[in-house]
Amino acid sequence: MNRIVTFGEVLMRLSPLGNKKMKQTNLLEYYFGGTEINVSISLANFGNKVKHISCISDDFIGETAIGYLRQYNVDTRDIYRTSRPLGMYFLEVGAVMRPSTITYNRSNSAFSGVTPDMVDWDKALAKGNWFHWTGITPGLSRGAYETLKEGLKHAKAKGFTISSDPTYRSGLWKYGVDPKDAIQDLMQYVTIFIGGVNEINEILGTEYGYENDDFIAASKALIEKYPNVEKVFDKIRIAINASWQKIKARMWNGKEFKETEAIEITHIVDRIGTGDAFAAGIIYGLLNYDDFKAMEFASAACALKHTFPGDINYATVKDVEHLLSGNTGGRVNR
């Protein structure tokens, strides 16, 4: 059985109901999120064994977060607890041409305080075979960067497949390391690259365009520099507005280029976590299908995530397959 390990920050997400501004209400809904647990939980919902490694506050907020992960069948036994508070973010949900707005409270969080000594990577990775990380983690703090790197070394040594979604978030990277340097450093451990032209340009310092040919050229350049990278998967979002978008995907797997049909999401419920749903779809897909089917699966999974409120993709393998079989009419399932 596949066992997938993720490492990253667990955030509390707080949001007014519907499209309200916080000024309009004193009621908030909260969930837990964070790009890596989103991947982890989606993979658990696909039936995989998953473990998440993190550093979480040693208070009732942290306990609640851990119970949340357990609810979704994520192994929490290697999570470290500290006295710093859990990171959080507030979200005001937009609509149509009004963007959603997020403000973070994470710079002093439990996870930002993680240091390599807090994780026993040998124990934590004892049973797994796949490791997933994102570009958020090394952007948070030197300790997070170093702890991640330590984990990647262990994962590589143990023969894990290592996937990465190296998203660059400009609001991070405040601790004195150049993002380009750090990501380049970590790229040596990556097998599956889940990102597009933007991310490749960021890493290589190139300026490829967005056409398919550009994507192929960029992917080749990436693999040339990092021969450990085997495949590149890119999710494409075509936004009519915040409420109506299309999702498609393309890939260069070292041998051939392919792209999927676009899936139209006419009434978006929540777009947070849709990239994570795509990443989880790629991981599940590669473990179970060929590359193209994996990409189709990921694209459909990503599309379905837009219909669930919160960060989590609740779609099961059966749900994704149902959509891939052409069932888009939304007939009630009794």
Q: List binders of a second copy among 84-143 (CB under 8 A).
A: 84-86, 88, 90, 92, 94-105, 107-108
> Closest CB to a second copy among 156 and 322?
322
325 binds a second copy (CB under 8 A): no
d(CA 319, CA 170): 35
d(CA 203, CA 184): 6
Tell me, by CB under 8 A, how many residues bind a second copy: 84
Q: Smallest distance, Å, CB 238 to a second copy?
A: 9
From the list 78-86, 137-145, 214-222, 251-259, the region that binds a second copy by CB under 8 A is 78-86
Q: Binder to a second copy among 6, 57, 163, 253 (CB under 8 A)? A: 57
63 binds a second copy (CB under 8 A): yes
> Closest CB to a second copy among 48 and 191?
48
Q: Smallest distance, Å, CB 122 to a second copy?
A: 23
**Of residues 161-180, which lie at the interface with a second copy (CB under 8 A)?**
169, 171
What are 37's two structure tokens?
Answer: 């647990």
14 binds a second copy (CB under 8 A): yes
Q: Centre a 10 Å sphere on the Cβ of residue 238 and count the other Cβ atoms it contains.
A: 11
H or E element, residue 238: strand 231-241
What are 147's two structure tokens?
Answer: 């702890």
Q: Smallest distance, Å, CB 57 to a second copy?
A: 8
Cα separations (Å) of 195 from 4, 163, 201, 318, 328? 19, 10, 11, 26, 27
Q: Binder to a second copy among 1, 26, 205, 325 (CB under 8 A)? A: 26
CA angle 159, 185, 54 (to 5 degrees): 65
**Of residues 292-321, which lie at the interface with a second copy (CB under 8 A)?**
303-304, 306-310, 312, 314-315, 319
Q: Smallest distance, Å, CB 312 to a second copy?
A: 8
Three-state secondary structure call for residue 241: strand
CB 17 within 8 A of CB 92: no
Write the burial class of residue 188 (CB in 10 Å: 0-12 exposed, 13-18 middle, 19+ buried): middle
> Closest CB to a second copy among 86 and 125?
86
> Closest CB to a second copy among 36 and 270?
270
What are 172's two structure tokens?
Answer: 């991070």
Q: Which residue shows structure tokens 């837990």?
A: 32
**Of residues 229-258, which lie at the interface with a second copy (CB under 8 A)?**
239-244
Q: Smallest distance, Å, CB 96 to a second copy?
A: 5
